[in-house]
Structure 1
């Protein structure tokens, strides 16, 4: 029963981590990225959602690591 519970939590954390990574906006590179980045800063684009997604990604990554260790110890 404990194995099933751990696997369900692990899969949910994995899916959440995948979703938060895919929802984040990419970092533009090159000349076009520097031009667009300057315009976004000038016109005051809000980055609230990107900061929240980055924080959720960090939390889910820590949860993923913790669950991996817990499963390695208990499901050996």
Structure 2
């Protein structure tokens, strides 16, 4: 059971990396990299389409990964 969950965790880790890399960039210019993009921080920008799907996929994968990490820690302590 432990080795199976460890394998699933490795696959989930790779999928999380891929989903984060596929998300579109939010920076419009090089200047916003230095200012931190504070003008966009508090603006209402709702994600739509592909961006919204990728955010949800990343959140779900991250949650499943965290649950698996807790399960592996519990099984590893025995």
Answer yes or no: same fold by TM over 0.5: yes
User: How large is the RMSD of aligned CA atoms in angstroms?
Assistant: 2.0
Q: With structure 2 as the length reference, what TM-score do the two structures score?
A: 0.70
Structure 1 residues without counterparts, runs of 5 or longer: 34-46
Distance 2:7 2:62 in 1: 16
**Mapping for residues 1-76 of structure 1, pairs under 5 Å:** 2-29=1-28, 47-76=48-77
Q: For residue 38 of structure 1, what is the aligned residue in structure 2?
A: none
Which structure has the greater CA radius of gyration?
Answer: 1
Structure 2 residues without counterparts, runs of 5 or longer: 33-47
Q: With structure 1 as the length reference, what TM-score do the two structures score?
A: 0.72
Distance 2:7 2:13 in 1: 10
Give the drift of 1:68: 0.6
Instruction: Give 4+ residue runs of structure 1 displaced > 3 Å after superposition.
Output: 29-33
